[in-house]
Amino acid sequence: MRANTDVKEKSARIVSSEEERLILVDAEDNDMGFMSKAECHDGNGVLHRAFSIFLFNEQGHLLLQQRAAGKRLWPMYWSNSCCSHPRERETMAVAAARRLQDELQTDSDLEFVYKFIYQASFGELGSEHELCHVFLGRIVSEPGANETEIAAMRYVSIAELERDLAETPEVFTPWFKLEWQRLKTEHADTLSRFTGCG
């Protein structure tokens, strides 16, 4: 997959660490305490709160990011526009806005769509085990990649995305594939408002 170079100048600010404390939750999304990011992702993972953001431009194209090579889990895999976690005592709204600035130097009015639990292991390096809140939004200003988090970015039409998912599913993160499938099948009306595809 080729990268899109029509973006702001890259930054290299360090915006996350393995020591930051994440919010543990139960299956109903109730707070259950806090644990370091490293511990949350060790072994099979410990269930914690997270979010995934899908950003679309005016043409209804989705912004994809390729995760940086330094990522512990799924480095250099392609994924949705932005993914992260609220930190200890941080609200979802504050966390999402912070991360859009940290990773992409942009912001968006986000629309919550659904939340779900998933678990995925990346060999012996660790796992994601998240209760993930999924948001859709419009890009307000042209994004710029933080190279400590993102190796490359590109916009894709829905047709291009479907083709790439069919032909090379192995290059995408597991959560992105799960989320996209559910958006298409269970939230098609909401998705169509952002993509322009009915």
pLDDT tens readout for residues 80-116: 999 999 999 999 999 999 999 999 999 999 999 999 9
Q: What is the pLDDT of residue 140?
A: 85
Gyration radius of the chain over CA positions:
16
First-to-last C-alpha distance (Å) of the chain: 26
State the pLDDT confidence band at 3, using cuts at 50, 70 and 90: very low
> Residue 110 is inside which H or E element, if any?
none
- Fold category of 32-195 in CATH: Nucleoside Triphosphate Pyrophosphohydrolase (3.90.79)
> Is the pTM for the entire model greater than 0.85?
yes
Q: Catalytic: 40?
A: no
Q: What is the pLDDT of residue 2?
A: 42
| 20 has pLDDT over 60 | yes
Helix (H, G, I), strand (E, B) or coil at 38: helix
* Joined tokens for residue 29: 């999304």
Domain ranges of the chain: 32-195
Task: For tokens 């909401």, name the residue.
Answer: 190
Q: Catalytic: 83?
A: yes
Q: What is the pLDDT of residue 35?
A: 97
Among 39, 128, 130, 149, the active-site one is 130
Among 39, 83, 132, 149, the active-site one is 83
Angle at 172 between CA 117 and CA 180, to 5 degrees: 50
For 21-34, write each residue's pLDDT tens digit: 999 999 999 999 99
